[in-house]
Amino acid sequence: MTRIILVGCAGQRNLGDDALVQVFAEQLQGADLVAVSSNPEETTAVTGLPAFYPYGLRQIGTKVRTLLRCEAIVFAGGSPLKEIREGVTDRSRFQLLLGTLALVWLGRLLRKQVVFAHVGVGPLRSKLARALCRWAIQGADRVIVRDSHSMDVLQNIGGRSQVTLAADATWALSWRPAPHRDGSGVPRIGLAPHYYVQGAHIDYATFRDEMVNLCTSIHRQLNGVCEIHLLAFCYGYYDHDDIAVCQEIARLLPREIAACIDVEATPEAMLDRIASLDMVVGVRLHASIFACITGVSLLPVVYDVKCRGFAHDAGLSDWAVEIEDVAAGRLPEHFARAWRDRVQIGRRIAHIRPSMVDRALTGFDEVRTVLARPSANRRRSSEAMRADR
């Protein structure tokens, strides 16, 4: 049985990250999986996978034993190859890239297979960031990216002749819809905000206020006959999370507008919730993907390169809203257009969904193929030993 370390962002109470762990566990059944997690006990309780904390000296014995005994290190989705935006977290802008590079080359030193599976790449704003990314992918046995933007970035920075284009792993989630509509006919609009949307063109307060303006505009456009659902995808880990943002939005709304704050414990429950809606305004990437999985019409908001890559590959670029437009107060007019086009958007999603699912599953086929054979690092070592003889 192959022992694999799954490297991602598990344990941060983020439904998108939880969905990634879940789908990798589903697709790599039969392997002995161990997850890297910020909350190992919770990850084990939720997924059934053993997990360990990656930072500092905590569980150092477990880390060393797991690394020595494993046969492969798989970066399981997410964006491990990016430059962190300053001011978003307390980490330095290169910390994630340096950590990824260190783990790749530690794996190579220990002759483990190293695979980037369904990952996103970027933003990489500096020469140093691009160099760190190039060195990381050079040490991997296989690189599989989740969107065409990531493919373009890696081709531009060089360092590897072949990169496979797949899709975000969560497209491959096994989900069966539950009965959800009550037949009331009242339009239901979901808004999935993000707790740290800020950057060169917008700060957090402006973003939050524009979400309030959007809710007010939706209520007016639909003549006050609608339900507004604020979808919290990340909660309970950071002091200021999606629930806090949703609560602020709800508090700032005019008194006559009521908004539900929807908090779900599992990806399946959130998929069921989204399936009950008529449209989703997706700021969070996985809120947008969940809308597409469930066949719900979507207005994607592009606050990051990963959102732009998703919108392009999902055929939704014509409706995607750039963060500059949000800052300029144009989100309500984008929503009005998307609402008029919701049937067309739904058809576009229904058309593209099978191919995105197929791309995700094909990516997993490639991961399994790579893991079934000796790593390139081991082959290089064996070749060197034979040459010495």
Q: What is the DSSP string of 331-345?
A: HHHHHHHHHHTHHHH
Per-residue model confidence as pLDDT tens digits over 7-39:
999 999 999 999 999 999 999 999 999 999 999
What dihedral angle (degrees, nearest 10) is formed by the CA atoms of 153, 158, 161, 164? -20
Residues 313-340, mean pLDDT to the nearest whole number = 97
Judge whether residue 200 has pLDDT over 90.
no
The number of CA neighbours under 13 Å toward the Cβ of 353 is 18
Lowest mean pLDDT among 130-144, 194-208, 306-320, 355-369: 194-208
Which pLDDT band holds residue 87 (cuts at 50, 70, 90)?
A: low
Domains, the chain, in order of start with CATH, read 3-174+356-388 (3.40.50.11720), 188-352 (3.40.50.2000)
Residues 215-220, mean pLDDT to the nearest whole number = 98
Which residue type does 222 have? L
| CA 147 – CA 165 distance, rounded (Å) | 6
**Cross-strand pairs, 231:** 262
Q: Helices marked H in 118-226 — which ranges?
A: 127-138, 148-157, 204-221
**Cross-strand pairs, 302:** 322
**What rounded mean pLDDT belongs to the chain?**
91
Judge whether residue 166 has pLDDT over 90.
yes
Residues 154-177, mean pLDDT to the nearest whole number = 90
Look at residue 388 in the predicted model and tell me its pLDDT: 41
Integer angstrom CA distances of residue 213 from 114, 219, 332, 335:
46, 10, 7, 11
* 3-class secondary structure, 238: coil
Which pLDDT band holds residue 376 (cuts at 50, 70, 90)?
A: low
Lowest mean pLDDT among 43-52, 97-106, 226-235: 43-52
Residues 6+ apart with CB under 8 A from 326: 202, 207, 210, 301, 303
Judge whether residue 374 has pLDDT over 80.
no
CB atoms within 10 A of CB 299: 27
Residues 6+ apart with CB under 8 A from 303: 194, 197, 199, 283, 323, 326
Judge whether residue 73 has pLDDT over 90.
yes
Q: What percent of the chain has pLDDT over 90?
A: 81
Identify which has the larger pLDDT, 375 or 141.
141
CB 313 within 8 A of CB 223: no
Look at residue 389 in the predicted model and tell me its pLDDT: 39
Given the DSSP bridges, would you call strands 32-37 and 164-165 parallel, antiparallel or unpaired?
unpaired
Judge whether residue 377 has pLDDT over 80.
no
* Tokens linked to 102: 């260190």
Check whether the bond before 374 is cis (ω within 30° of 0): no
Its pTM stands at 0.93
Q: Which of 27, 88, 89, 348 minimizes the C-alpha distance to 19? A: 27
CB 204 within 8 A of CB 242: no
Judge whether residue 379 has pLDDT over 80.
no
